[in-house]
Structure 1
């Protein structure tokens, strides 16, 4: 006959921790943690929900999988809760002893069992609620049933479920579940109504994401000339010097003192792909090097500039750490000054290298596929070009206002102008300028992308004091980088500097 075993101690569930939010997490789980909307300091011991179930144990653990396959409708089917559990045996339990399990790693104190379906909450319900065939299988294989209390503790619940248990009811339709991870720092932008709960929210996010060590909230808008903002540490250690990997490179910087946006990694890669080895790029607002360093790694010669002393400092650290000093030169100038000086800076760079060539040492070992012989790579050289091929202007709030500095780019220095005009295959630089084109919420009809592009074109003509005959709309290439807000798209507009403007 089927034996019944009673256990005096509850069997605890080994919890899982979430690391990111997904679409599935936005669905409400059937079981929820206890609710306390007055909680001001996180009490992890409060979030316990107990589910009464029944566990079936077999003398031979291999019968568990057989039972699960044959009687799938009789076993537990609650998402995120394992139906097969391990637990310590109770030496004082009543009922016949179980046979020793036929597994080498099992001992007399650790047992394994399968949980029956959710509707069976007591041992006495087993015979009435499972099918006759399933019950016969349990009897035939000398199975034992025992009460099992499944404990869902703080570690089990997802962050959103915890938030729903502690935040005021009027906020439950807009749970703050998003953040941007930069190195070990999670950056969230809490709306004003959520800020009183900032420490609670930060601690939950810290607990539920194993790779996060610090959670910060932006306390103001980007207003400084260095594109930085004040931030508050909500949870974790107050160390904001992070290390981030992107585009095959490592970046180190103080997140509180420089501008970095992890959402732009696709845009960084998109532009870097346009740069060819041996070309020269002027990075006007280089930051800590998300464009410059990966470009240097692929053999592009980069003049990288940033006015922020901290960005400049970490730019040099990243140039060194990624071993691209042969290709990337750094400057700490105002953007306008850098644009004006860039042709001269390139000339100075050429003069600093014998025959205007960058020598790349060889000596790396490799195995010849044909002969199997171990060889070493030869040294090679890259000629520094006479002119810049591209300018990157990643300062979307104001980059367009710097475009007038390209008018007369090659005519300010007569010697530079004469040298460049004499080059038969002179290529005028491509300018890649990031910008916002905000429109009003109540604009009717809402402007199309084509209309927004034409507005950007009109701004460029006004700033560069030229007309559509010199720089026609068709000469501009637009790429939608992202929508910062529904009415605030960010574009990258690219165009080749007209010769008449370059030598104006």
Structure 2
């Protein structure tokens, strides 16, 4: 069933365009045995394009040139749509219209009454041979016909400029060269195909890549939410699947707001925020990421709004963030704006949360107004298990050293990473008490609160 949201979106699409798109894909080619690649290609692990040649009988209409414009609307949903194949083409006696063999078995399969009104009869209908080859199938259709039928196929991949980035499962590794060649052949502007070689376990958190097809050119240009970025994909971290999440955070920000980006990368949070005239402090430990962060800030003409640092995330918090936030509180305590801290390093960002504990002394904040604008932290984390949302909350609370209550602003699902492994954004507000409480006392408070929760749960269970 359509949701109300989907119906509202559809209502904005012109009616004829919706009908055209629906009819374009009315019949799936891979549901028709005749239109599938030859069965002999199953299991091929070295791409042999000539093996995809196939001759089949296809229904067709031959009509005079003067009748084409009136006949096409009558058979539009029955046209044969394949890659590099014109369903309407010129022949000596006029035009030939290729029809899909799944719905069209004979003349009676067509809207005969309407066609006869246009002086098109059974004499105009016939079956004739058509040669198909490698060029006529999409990448998905080729791979579906080649890869093992009883295993999961190539479910997804990422496009970053001219690079296609794969994360192949073990059973697909024998076919990696073929997969790379097919994608390079079929995807527009694809010159390089790489596979994620290992898990991300190095200091700078960039992918370890294996070139499986094409040119070893890793410097790319891409756009995310209308903002151009440039970087060396082999030396920095970039995931196009996070573009929606980047956009969500940037939309929260208003001109004049403050963003501290602890793990900024090449700038997917920081650069759009600075371009939006927010005050941004952006940091990344990877010197290559830092260089491209500077480059992207300059390219997007937002240098006046951004300060950039190349240091460890913890050092950035306890030094640059600490000093800048204190100065802002002293200078703009009575102004209305919001402060945000992004920590997008989901494999380990939670380990840096304890840096906020006792970030200031009680005496430092005593001289400031009671009601300050406290930062909202958006920390990203992975959780693996059954109830991942509960697990990720416990992970954050454990590293922060406090049970989040009124401070918690939300736990948002970002994406599924692997079976039973999800990525979340946990948003919470830093408080005066958290920012000034010594670590040991904070741990004690968290333990006491957890004990209270356990005791209350026990009482409820007994009742």
Give the TM bin, normalised by the shorter chain.
0.7 to 0.9
- 1:458 to 1:118, Cα distance in 2 relative to 1, 3 A: closer
Q: CA deviation at 1:87?
A: 4.0
Please state how far the C-alpha of 1:68 moved relative to its aligned partner: 5.4
1:435 to 381, 384, 387: 381
Of 114, 127, 146, 1:166 maps to: 146
- Name the CA distance, whole Å, in 1 between partners of 2:121 and 2:245: 65
Structure 1 residue 296, shift from structure 2 partner:
0.3
1:399 corresponding residue in structure 2 = 349
> Partners of 1:139 and 1:64 in 2: how far apart?
10
> In the alignment, which residue of structure 1 is the partner of 2:372?
426
Secondary structure of the 2:41 match is coil
Whether the 8 Å CA contact 1:77–1:118 is kept in 2: the answer is no
The CA deviation string for residues 291-310 of structure 1, in whole angstroms up to 9 with x for no partner, is 00000011111110000011
Aligned length: 407
TM value normalised by structure 1: 0.69
SS of the counterpart of 1:281?
strand
Q: Which of 44, 50, 71 is the aligned partner of 2:49?
A: 44
Once the two structures are superposed, the pairs formed by residues 297-376 of structure 1 within 5 Å of their partners are 297-343=275-321, 346=324
Equivalent runs, 1:460-471 vs 2, <5 Å: 463-465=399-401, 467-468=402-403, 471=404
Distance 1:499 1:118, change over 3 A: closer
Structure 2, unaligned runs of 5 or more: 1-24, 438-463
The one of the two structures with greater contact order (alpha-carbon pairs below 8 A, sep at least 6) is 1
Deviations 1:455-477 (A, max 9, x none): 23541xxx344x44xx4366342
Instruction: Give the distance between the partners of 1:284 and 1:164, measured in 2 at CA.
Output: 42
State the distance in 2 between where 1:338 and 1:117 align. Answer: 63
Offset of 1:425 from its aligned partner? 5.1
Query: Higher helix fraction: Structure 1 or Structure 2?
Result: 2
Q: Equivalent residue for 2:5?
A: none
**Which residue matches 2:68?**
64
Q: Corresponding residue for 1:246?
A: 224
2:236 counterpart residue number? 258
Unaligned runs of 5+ in 1: 1-21, 90-97, 99-110, 351-355, 357-381, 440-445
Q: 1:277 to 1:170 in 2, by over 3 A?
A: same
Worse-superposed segment, 291-300 or 212-221: 212-221
- Report the CA distance shift for 1:139/1:332 in structure 2 as closer, same or farther (over 3 A): closer
Deviates more, 1:493-502 or 1:302-311: 493-502
- Which one has a bigger Cα radius of gyration? 1
**CA deviation string 1:96-139 (max 9, x = no partner):** xx5xxxxxxxxxxxx522347859x9xxx989x99799789769
TM-score normalised per structure 2: 0.75
Confirm or deny: 8 A CA contact 2:45 2:175 kept in the other structure: yes
Alignment of 1:69-84 (within 5 A): 78=80, 80=82, 84=87
Worse-superposed segment, 190-199 or 35-44: 35-44
Partner of 2:451: none
CA gap 1:25/1:217 in 2 versus in 1, 3 angstroms: farther
